[in-house]
Homo-oligomer: A and B are copies of this chain.
Amino acid sequence: MKRIAESTVRRLSLYLRYLEEFEGRGLATISSDELAARGGTTSAQVRKDLSFFGSFGKRGLGYSVPELSGRLREILGLGKEWRVIIVGAGKIGGALAHYRGFRQRGFLVTAVYDADAAKVGSRFESFTVRDMARLQEDIRREPVDIAVISVPAEVAQRVVDDVVRAGIRAILNFAPVQLHVPDDVSVKTVNMAMELEGLSFALTNRD
């Protein structure tokens, strides 16, 4: 398959969210124009994005809401339940451990890890914090698809190396550093300080 741009995938996620909204309201079909209006883009963009994966619409009519949302779920790989661990039992890890948005979309948090001996064994939300040293062994018994990294920046790369060595191939990173991983590992970084700096730039360099 042709390489799909990251921006396209992000928009597919958005489209799916809006389709669910329209589905909830009982709408049967939707045009690329309506979908675009809801998501702040253009109808051509919507059609182009979808065209990478097939032809899902009916000319003159638009898209069937249930069909298109099913197709998007399939494309995004949301048919199965993904198993997620959280590494780093701090504030952010805590907020994520029970974030409803994860569960709702098929991402199941199965365990929380930390390298700090003082935290290992303690209660953390509804989890008992496990020792990072046990990760490799645990994974053999119950596989993990995605690791969420919520440790301080200084140790993030080290932790990621461990996680990759244990065989995990997808990482959601909350530490404010650029992580280096092998080509077959996917990383998404959420960097709140960077977003704030983007706002600071915008406020400073208006017009």
| A contacts, CB < 8 Å to B | 1, 4, 6, 9-10, 12-14, 16-17, 38-40, 75-78, 82, 84, 91-92, 94-96, 98-99, 101-102, 104-105, 107, 145-146, 169-172, 176-178, 180, 184, 186, 188, 190-206
Which of the residues B9, B180, B193, B205 comes within 8 Å of A40, measured between beta carbons?
A: B180
- Tell me whether A40 and B178 are in contact in the complex, defined as CB-CB below 8 angstroms, given that A197-B78, A199-B170, A200-B78 are known contacts: yes
Q: Are B4 and A198 in contact (CB under 8 A)?
A: no
Q: A39-B178, A40-B178, A192-B190 are in contact. Are A198 and B10 (CB under 8 A)?
A: yes
A199 to B173 CA separation, bound complex (whole angstroms): 11
A170 interface neighbour in B78, B102, B202, B205, Cβ under 8 Å: B202
Residues of B within 8 A of A177 (CB): 17
The 8 closest A-B pairs by CB, nearest first: A77-B204, A95-B95, A186-B202, A77-B200, A170-B199, A188-B195, A13-B194, A101-B193
A-B contact pairs, 20 of them (CB 8 A): A4-B201, A13-B194, A13-B197, A39-B178, A40-B178, A75-B201, A76-B197, A76-B201, A77-B201, A82-B196, A91-B95, A91-B98, A92-B99, A105-B196, A170-B202, A170-B203, A171-B199, A172-B195, A190-B190, A190-B195
Q: Are B13 and A193 in contact (CB under 8 A)?
A: yes
B38 near A178: Cβ-Cβ < 8 Å: yes
| Residue of A102, A107, A201, A205 ringed by the most chain B CB atoms within 10 A | A201
List B contacts of A169 (CB < 8 A). 203
* Bound: A198/B145 CA distance, A: 13
